[in-house]
Chains A and B, each alone.
Chain A
Amino acid sequence: MLRRTIDILGDFFIFTWQTIYWMSRGVWRRRNWRLLIPQLYEVGYKSLPVIMITGAFVGMVIAVQSIEQFRALGMEERMGSIVNLSVVRELGPVLAGIMLAGRIGGALTAELGTMNVTEQIDALRSMGVNPIRYLVAPRVLACFILTPALTLFADFTGALGGWFVSVVLEGIAPGPYWDYTKQAVSTFDLYSGIIKSFFFGAALGLVSCYSGFFCKPGAEGVGRACTTAFVTSFIVILALDFILAQILQDIQIALFGFQSML
């Protein structure tokens, strides 16, 4: 069991290394853009609606959950701080990452897995085309670039959702709502969410492609690879979030000192 885990980890790191190698070499060649652009379309443009809906609900739910607590303390004007900080720092990036792990990761694993079991990946190799360069590098690159971009959209609709519940439904005055938001949410908070989402994008792209690339034969193999890919991406995203939250918080305190939210 332990040996198998170490084997898989080793394979995964070699796979990652090769992907980074081909990504950094390939991206400068114009010829390769024709491989990248369809992936950008698939990962980015087509994910926009779900990402924006996810973001909006996250913002609304946080507002609904916290409003009574703030009201009990008579501090409902400060709602904006907690809602927007949670969206931008934590829930926007994480839920966008998880949403994409499901939407994009599932599709990537199924596509590469099917190509693997129908010998299409062998066919590429037999024709002297490196499948990591041709298939994996553009897909992982698209995830890496666009997860942060999509996270920005999730942040935006999240803030909008929070505003909708707090200001429109619950009647909090918009002026103080946004003032407290400005006080609480610094540019660094926004960056820290975006920095995290670069890691989430790379992780979900690599895990999903790896699972499909080395899946077991048959429909069962592809199905199992999709499950493994999603569960692994999910856990890796949460674990990365934990580690990065710690590191980014330390950096923020070192740079700006500790600031109380309330």
Chain B
Amino acid sequence: MAKNIDNRPIIELRNVSKRFGALQVLDGVDLSLRRGETTVVIGESGTGKSVLLKHIVGLLRPDSGEIWFDGQRIDTMNEQALVPIRRRMGFLFQMGALFDSMTVGENVGFPLEEHSQFKPDKIQAIVEEKLKMVGLSGLQARKPGQISGGQKKRVALARAIALDPEVVFYDEPTTGLDPVRADVINELILKLKQELHVTGIVVTHDMVSAFKVGDRILMLNKGTIIADAVPAWYKTCDDPRVRRFVDGRANEEDLKALVAAK
């Protein structure tokens, strides 16, 4: 019986659509995410990957469709009602989105300050523990402006997991990092899943990362999901749209446009 409950999806999107002006960014997306799995969403830039993530956290509201989190419908909730839901989620932003008026330590401790009743020294201990987890303990007193891009992302990750969330959203976690630093992030995503049983949703166009961390990969194209399978499938699939993306080849029309421009 307990196993049955565990198998319920933690996040469900039902026929979600969103448009910005004339641009249809999401077009009837249906999706359900299982607990404890890492789902990777791939797709070209501008196909609505980040928009999809922001809908699940309630940062954006759909024009139509429903979004459910652990049995509760969240797209109709107001900001106040979303607070307990958001405490169960962590969001790693593309550029880190660290508060630059605060130190690294204050950034990581921020969700604890806001949402827990812990005493300051307990908060310090948790901050230290989370920073150690991302390999950056001892940097507490630095300001975000004084650390490198890769370190910022890891600090942001430490902040995202400060409250031990059940679900962590990663918005392009490896973009802009060198391959070695990118792999550190990939290892962290795997570690969180294995050690803390975190459900992960990774938005990326880095195929190395997608194959490494994904239990399941979705491909988004023009606002709809065009593929949903285990990573191995993508290595052999022959849908041209998927192939081109996975192999990183420009499409014929783009190439023609380049030649024409000359």
Chains A and B belong together in one complex: yes
Name A residues whose Cβ lies closer than 8 Å to a Cβ of B.
115, 118-120, 122-123, 125-130
Set of chain B residues within 8 Å of A122, measured between Cβ atoms: 54, 59, 93, 97
Nearest Cβ on chain B to A33's Cβ, whole angstroms: 14
What residues of chain B have their CB less than 8 Å away from a CB belonging to chain A? 54, 57-59, 79-80, 82-87, 89, 91, 93-95, 97-100, 110-111, 114-115
The answer on a CB contact under 8 Å between B95 and A126 is: no
User: B79 contacts A126, CB within 8 Å?
Assistant: no
A120 to B107: give the CA distance in the assembly, Å. Answer: 11
Report A-chain residues with C-beta under 8 Å of the C-beta of B99: 115, 120, 123
A120 to B111, CA, bound (A): 13
- Ranked nearest first, the 5 interchain pairs of A and B with the lowest CB-CB distance are A128-B86, A123-B97, A126-B91, A119-B97, A128-B83
Residues in B neighbouring A128, C-beta threshold 8 A: 82-87, 111, 114-115
Q: How far is the CA of A127 from the CA of B98 in the complex (A)?
A: 12
Q: Give the complex CA separation of A122 and B114 in angstroms.
A: 16
State how many angstroms separate the Cβ of A26 from the closest Cβ of chain B. Answer: 13
B59 near A127 (CB under 8 angstroms)?
A: no
Residues of A within 8 Å of B86, CB to CB, are: 125-128
Residue of A whose beta carbon sits closest to that of B162: A127
Evaluate contact between A127 and B95: CB separation under 8 angstroms: no
Query: Hey, which chain B residues are within 8 Å of A120, CB to CB?
Result: 97-100
How far does the Cβ of B164 sit from chain A's closest Cβ, in whole Å? Answer: 13
12 contacts between A and B (CB under 8 A): A118-B100, A119-B94, A119-B95, A120-B99, A123-B99, A126-B57, A127-B86, A128-B84, A128-B114, A129-B114, A130-B79, A130-B80
Asked whether, in the complex, the Cβ of B114 is within 8 Å of the Cβ of A125, the reply is no
Q: Is the CB of A125 within 8 A of B110?
A: no
Is A123 touching B91 in the complex (CB atoms < 8 A)?
A: yes
B80 — which chain A residues lie within 8 A by C-beta?
A: 130
Least Cβ–Cβ distance between A140 and chain B, in angstroms = 18
| B-chain residues with CB within 8 Å of residue A127 when the two chains form the complex | 86, 91, 110-111, 114-115
